[in-house]
Structure 1
Amino acid sequence: MAEQERVSDVWADPSVTWPRLDILTAALFALVCVPLHASVGLAAELAIVVLALALAVRRRSWRLMSALAVAAGAIQLVAGQTAYFADLAYAPLFFTIGRHADRRVRLAGLVVAALASVTGALNVVFNPDRAVQAGTGLTLAVSILATTALAAVICMGGWAAGFIRWQNQQAIQARIDAQLDAVERRRLAELYDLEQERRRIATDMHDVVAHSWAVVAAQADGARYSLAQNPQRVEQSLDIIAATARTAIGDLRALVARLRDPAATTAHAGEGTAYGLPSAGTLRQADLVAQMRASGMSLDMTELGEPASSALLTLTAHRLLAESLTNALKHGDLSETVVVQQDWRDGYRLRVINTVGERSDLGTGHGLLGMAERAAVAGGRATSRRDGDHWIVDVDIPRDPS
């Protein structure tokens, strides 16, 4: 049973099956054609055997096949013995050349096919049979034309059929390649979208955690200092801490939902929500400013124009302002006023200026990188730099992405 399966597998292999079928076909060709041309002569029978060998090796070596085919034709031409029925074998031989992958081989095969057609006519001229010899010049001309046409049909027709087969294979391969390219492009696009989503989630996670814990830390410090002298201030700080923690929990839940099911991410323009963060619509800039002022920050706010109707732009503006003020709260000198300038008249522009100390690592955090990426998503740019004792954040989104 195992031996039968092994033999079946061998015959199922195209690299083994086709040569064996060619050998079988060549053997049948020789067995049929040799007796049919026994009366023609020994040279014709020898040419048939050579043609059979050419058929047997045509899928193995086109060079050997071509050499054997030329040899068979030469034998017939020199001996003056034409195996007319057996010469039909030239059709599959030229078919093999016509479908060859190398353009030079195909062109050479076309030239040889044309020469073979002419050679058939020359064979009639130099080796006419008895009927032609006994006929008139018209009979000779008709015989030449008929032989040339038949040779052209066999040789050039076989080559043309092979060439058409090659073209069809190329067209099929081109379609397959195009489909594979489309699949690969879709795969790369999906990977790119996943990477972009991962970056957005990482940015949102940083914004949520950094902002929330900066506010919580500032309020906790203030509450500790006011514990004995100002209990009312402590109660206010605890209220802010609780509200900030609840907001952060809601944001983190939304982020976890995005991680589990990215398709669940929605955008509610009425709430100013995007990227699946519902708190982004409810935490208006007024709430943000109130949080910062309650944390001990002195703000000088200037706003020009009306906020945009685009949910993406309003969320981007809120996040960029929140990150800028969070950095000022964490690293800045809160004894100095933080200057905020917003301009909605042509897209969105933001400038935040706060006083900093002697620290030199203010421009190396993930928050600044996230600000640049978030602004780029909205079609703009965000830059941060140190200018003496001041840290300056500039945001420029020149067009409304909606």
Structure 2
Amino acid sequence: MFRPLRRYQIVVDVVAAVLFGLVALLVDVSLLTMVSNAQLLAGVGAGALLAVALAFRRLAPGLALGIAWASAIVQMLALLNPSPTNVAIFAVLYATAAYGSRLVYWLGFASAFAGALTIAVYVHAILPGWANPDLLTVGVAVLIAATFALLLAWVTGALVRTALAAREARRARVLAEAGAVAEQERVRIARDMHDVVAHSLAVVIAQADGARYAAASDPAAAATALGTIATTARAALSDVRLLLTQLRHSQGEGPQPTLADVEALYGQVRASGVDLAVDVDPAPRWEPSAAVQLAVYRILQEALTNALRHGAKGRVSVHLAWHPDRVELTVRNPLPAAPAPPAAGGHGLIGMRERAQLAGGMLEARPDGGHFAVTARLPIEEAA
């Protein structure tokens, strides 16, 4: 029954109702000087009820409508003339349309017609001293005027209700769009974090294992492996700090890997003991867009990381073909004799597919004749 209102709204409504009640008291006392005490008391009571209805018009529009009807009934039972204080009824009807529930909304609409009919019948058929020989004509005129006035108050409230609903819809849409943007940003950062951390840890683990076995026979190899571990860890730490900075602050994406960084990626993989063969045919005739370069780098990074972590010993081949309208990328690595079950919660293949889809392309990853093949096709635009 009661709507949630802010404190200042309640204070404003109560103060307005108190002021209206004082004015209504003065008006009723001045207009009802020639009536009986009972009628004077009824008039003052009806004015007090209208003041209460005015106080509750926004907090409880349905209750305010009922109190307004009670005030009208008191006036009619006491056979009182219409009072200027009845203007509060318009405010109540406005509130039923603007703030009421669906039921109260339509009760206010019905009350506009019922109130107009009641006014016409009461004034020209019941109230003493208002009899008129041309009762039908005058009654119809009063009915039309009252209906127009009461409906005008209700329609004004309905228009305000529509405006408030539109504003809430806009606010909800803005919040939904902001949430979608934030979710996309979280997914992007999570994808970058996975690519950086997974690749760097795979290289570190491979170097650490190699150093452990080589330390006994070749101390120099162990030192080289430790140097590679340190370099890879520092690069990964720098990338992670950049990603955390983006997550903490609303800034741009920052510098992203390009094709110029692919050779360093190949070097890290070869330093881990992988026999890596790279073939680029045909070569790019112009510099692709940053989105394509980033997608190619990240897909190569994840595919080589999977080969390092899950593949068997043997040659890993990378083939890049830069056609005028697309780039085709293939990474093949030998499968172990007894493939281990996929790790739970892995996101590598999902991340590669997302990279390809974001660039407008497609990606397939599946076993192929004793090898595991990752094949991607990304569209590119010819430079002007």
Same fold (TM over 0.5): yes
Look up the match of 1:87.
83
Shift of 1:324: 1.9
C-alpha separation in 1, matches of 2:382 and 2:203: 28
Tell me which of 215, 230, 237 is aligned to 1:252. Answer: 237
Q: Is the 8 A contact 1:19 1:56 kept in 2?
A: yes
Tell me which of 82, 86, 110 is aligned to 1:108. Answer: 110
Q: Which amino acid aligns with 1:31?
A: V
C-alpha separation in 1, matches of 2:113 and 2:231: 85
Give the gaps of 5 or more residues in structure 1: 1-8, 77-81, 133-139, 268-272
Look up the match of 2:275.
297
Tell me which of 323, 333, 346 is aligned to 2:312. Answer: 333
Q: Which amino acid aligns with 2:53?
A: R
Q: Does 1:198 align with 2:194?
A: no
Q: Which amino acid aligns with 1:359?
A: P
Number of residue equivalences: 356
Look up the match of 1:31.
29
Shift of 1:199: 0.7
Look up the match of 1:361.
341
Q: Is the 8 A contact 1:44 1:75 kept in 2?
A: yes
Change (3 A) 1:327 1:182: closer
Q: Tell me the SS of whatever aligns to 2:319.
A: strand
Shift of 1:55: 2.1
C-alpha separation in 2, matches of 1:351 and 1:265: 31
Q: Is the 8 A contact 1:347 1:399 kept in 2?
A: yes
Q: Tell me the SS of whatever aligns to 1:392.
A: strand
Q: Tell me the SS of whatever aligns to 2:339.
A: coil
Shift of 1:359: 2.9
Superposition pairs of residues 340-355 of structure 1, within 5 angstroms: 340-345=318-323, 346-355=325-334
Shift of 1:111: 1.4
- CA RMSD in angstroms comes to 4.4
TM-score (norm 2): 0.71
Give the gaps of 5 or more residues in structure 2: 1-6, 55-62
Change (3 A) 1:263 1:89: closer
TM-score (norm 1): 0.68
Superposition pairs of residues 63-74 of structure 1, within 5 angstroms: 63-70=66-73, 72-73=75-76
Shift of 1:317: 1.2
Task: Judge which range, 314-323 or 303-312, deviates more.
Answer: 303-312
Shift of 1:318: 2.2
C-alpha separation in 1, matches of 2:292 and 2:38: 90
Q: Is the 8 A contact 2:25 2:47 kept in 1?
A: yes
Tell me which of 367, 371, 377 is aligned to 1:390. Answer: 371
Look up the match of 2:59.
none
Look up the match of 2:58.
none
Q: Does 1:309 align with 2:273?
A: no
Superposition pairs of residues 173-188 of structure 1, within 5 angstroms: 173-174=164-165, 176-178=167-169, 180-185=171-176, 187-188=178-179
Deviations 1:271-330 (A, max 9, x none): xx52xx5xx554234x54455456341537363463761122122212222332233233
Change (3 A) 1:30 1:120: same
